[in-house]
Structure 1
Amino acid sequence: MKKILISAFEKSANLHLSYLLPHIAYEPIGIFDTNLGTPLVDMQNFAVMGFVDVLKKIPFFIDLKKRMVDLATQADRVLLIDASGFNLPLAKAIKERYPNKEIIYYILPQAWAWRRGRIKKIERYVDKALSILPFEKEYYSPHYNIKYVGHPLLDEIKQFKTSPTKTDKIVFMPGSRKQEIISLMPIFRKVRKRIDKEAILVAPKNMDLSIYGDISGFTLSHNPHQALYEAEFGFICSGTATLEAALIGTPLALCYIAKPLDYAIAKSFAKIDKVGLANIMLEDVHPEFLQEEVNERNLLQAYKNAEPEAFLQKSFELRKYLGHGSAKNAAKEING
């Protein structure tokens, strides 16, 4: 059986990959979760957050890139998923050693928002780009091989709201990384005490719950889509979960607190005014609070000002804009 070298670091990347693999006519080798095959290294509990944290891991990444380039000799094709900090240098190294080996990128770097110079690198070292955002191709050269294949969340989400819900449940999603959780949970606890409804705390499976501090006022859930579907409102750490909520139809407030240095660096690179993907695609879908703005007063005000009916209409527009899931279409491009 032909082999495909895969580089998938993040939990979200591996979730998307799990929907993609059944449609791919290749044996996977490389970096991915152990439940998807036999990877080069076990990345299950490995996570890097922020520019400062990345610097500490540079020797590890250098060695891992070398091992991946060596392994590429066994692969017929290469599939990169997200994680541009590692995958773009990897694409360059593989292309320089194996000029004729096809490199495909799925879940592209958000170069239109951060460091647009990466677009030139993608065009130089990646043979085929599989976009999950309809507007991305506008930032690439007209002749470049980039194609919109749909959005993976429309494969993965099983329930979408068709009318506003009144369930007396509020969902809190403080992220999946330690620093995100530590930063947001003290504020989430204060907000929870001010809302007399059931509070659902979403945490990844196998996460050390001691990171969250006191969670006695919350009902724990490991199923983010179900929790979002059942909730009237969500307080959600910036990331994929905010788009999940918007697609499902649950009003939300986006929250994010970064280390001051990381935030200053990120802000210097940013080319857009909004953080949440739903807001970038449609504008003014939900409120966003960053750094000092993430406080009890602002979050409670966002909750009180929520308009479920108007939000649901935005959700319908968003689903229509993205159109369909991506797994089958992406697999066709990879197999072809």
Structure 2
Amino acid sequence: MSDHIHIGIVVGEASGDILGAALMQELRNHFPNAEFSGIGGPRMLAQGFHSYFAQDRLAVMGLIEPLKRLPELLRIRKFLRDHFIANPPAVFIGIDSPDFTISLEAALKQSGIKTVHYVSPSVWAWRQKRVLKIARAVDLMLTLLPFEAKFYHKHNVPVEFVGHHLADEIPLAVDKVAARKALDLPEEGRIVALLPGSRASEVERMGELFMRTAVYCLEQDPSLQFIIPAASPDRYRQLHIELNDYVDFPIELINGHSHEAMAAADVVLLASGTVTLEALLLKKPMVVAYKMAPLTFKILSWLVKTPWVSLPNLLAQKMLVPELLQDKATPEALSAAIMNYFENPDDAIELAQTFMQMHGELKRDASARAADAIAKLIIKN
């Protein structure tokens, strides 16, 4: 096949732009003169991607905002559907943003265009019947995690586990001393990193809880030091206000640098999310917590089919790290879980060794593997 081909890609978030840009680079190793169009972010645009709409037009979250933006989102999806059907690409790739991209993939596949979805939605955890729609929508699913691929195999959906890009980016060996120097922290002493979330609502629910947990920990070991890396300038301002009540405690707020903060820490207390995978890759003992509105938690408890929420436990398919959710997430319980790592250092060492093995399993040169799988699909008759 000529390398003068057209590849359609749609991403809806900054994380998708990162994946999309890396994927474009690797696909050009197969098709040097490939042209890319659809919706992309700044990293993709820097590589010559033609975006018909700004990426942030798809970046909607929550329940109300998508409803407000629904007419615009439907117009964008109709344009892309009509455009790609009239100008068929060699393959169409939807990266994450499943509520938008999978319906688009289904329409394009029905018209005879090969389709790929990169980054599985959490269909294995809840709303599992979505796999039937996905099966109709994609010729190939690319997953970041191995247990996701097993789920699709079980449901006869063509799938390839390509590994996680963060496992490629984060080194296997973590230099705690260098991280402390970079953040101007003492080389000696026990440090706990607190990561209450990246969204305003998360910090509102978790920030005060994590600070009160720090106080409980300090009652047991006054030598402890705490650091909070703010996920953004907005979160920095929000946390700075919350810390006004804790000026007498050794809790230091840092603007950004979450990876360095976790690398510098001995133990990490964090809100459930992708950050739990980052802590795993940094080989850090962690305590996972989360709180949400009571009705939301009740509904999700009914819908979610997995016994765990954190990625370390999902990858291990057992309880590797403590998860304290909703009413169980109290300062007393969280501080006990943190101090347990200090009181049982052998357990923390064993956990780090397990994380090292997991890191090796996820480190697969994800972008290159994804590009290889897509290239095979393009060439396949």
With the shorter chain as reference, the TM-score category is: 0.7 to 0.9
> Is the aligned partner of 1:121 residue 2:133?
yes
Kindly name which structure, 1 or 2, has the bigger radius of gyration based on alpha carbons.
Answer: 2
Aligned to 1:317: 357
Match for 1:83: what amino acid?
S
- How many equivalent residue pairs? 334
- 2:203–2:235 contact (8 Å) kept in structure 1: no
| Aligned-residue identity in percent | 26
Letter of the structure 2 residue corresponding to residue 266 of structure 1: L
Does the 8 A contact of 1:166 with 1:232 survive in 2? no
Q: Identify the residue that residue 260 of structure 2 maps to in structure 1.
A: 226
Task: List structure 1 segments (4+ residues) > 6 angstroms apart after TM superposition.
Answer: 162-166
Shift of 1:47: 4.8
Q: Once the two structures are superposed, what CA deviation does each residue of 1:231-264 show, in whole Å capped at 9, x if it has no partner?
A: 1111112111101111221111112222333323
Aligned: 1:181 with 2:191? no
User: Residue 228 of structure 2 aligns to which amino acid in structure 1?
Assistant: L
Establish whether residue 91 from structure 1 lines up as the match of residue 113 from structure 2: no
Among 214, 223, 228, the alignment partner of 2:242 is 214
Taking the TM superposition and a 5 Å limit, the aligned residue runs for 1:232-311 are 232-282=266-316, 283-306=318-341, 307-311=347-351
Partner of 2:8: 5
Superposition deviation, residue 318 in structure 1:
1.6
CA distance in 2 between partners of 1:32 and 1:290 (Å)? 36
Matched, 1:40 2:52: yes
Unaligned runs of 5+ in 2: 29-33, 178-186, 245-250, 342-346, 377-381
2:92 to 58, 78, 84: 78
In structure 1, C-alpha distance between the alignment counterparts of 2:252 and 2:143, rounded to whole Å: 37
User: Which segments of 5 or more consecutive residues in structure 1 lack a partner in the other structure?
Assistant: none
* 1:139 counterpart (143, 151, 165): 151
Q: Deviations over 1:122-173 (max 9, x none)?
A: 1111011112222323323565421111222211213534999965322222
Tell me, in whole angstroms, the C-alpha distance in 1 between the residues paired with 2:167 and 2:358.
Answer: 11
Q: 8 Å contact 2:102–2:134 — kept in the other structure?
A: yes
Residue aligning to 1:201 = 228
Change (3 A) 1:271 1:186: same
Cα separation, partners in 2 of 1:245 and 1:120, compared to 1, 3 Å: same
Q: Secondary structure at the match of 1:113?
A: coil
CA separation of 1:280 and 1:162: change in aligned 2, threshold 3 A: farther
Deviates more, 1:318-327 or 1:225-234: 318-327
| Separation (CA, whole Å) in 2 of partners of 1:89 and 1:3 | 21
- TM-score (ref. length: structure 2): 0.78
Tell me the equivalent position of 1:21.
Answer: 24
Q: Secondary structure at the match of 2:313?
A: helix
Q: 1:161 to 1:266 in 2, by over 3 A?
A: same
Q: Tell me the distance in 2 between the aligned counterparts of 1:77 and 1:268.
A: 38
Normalized per residue, which structure has more helix?
A: 2
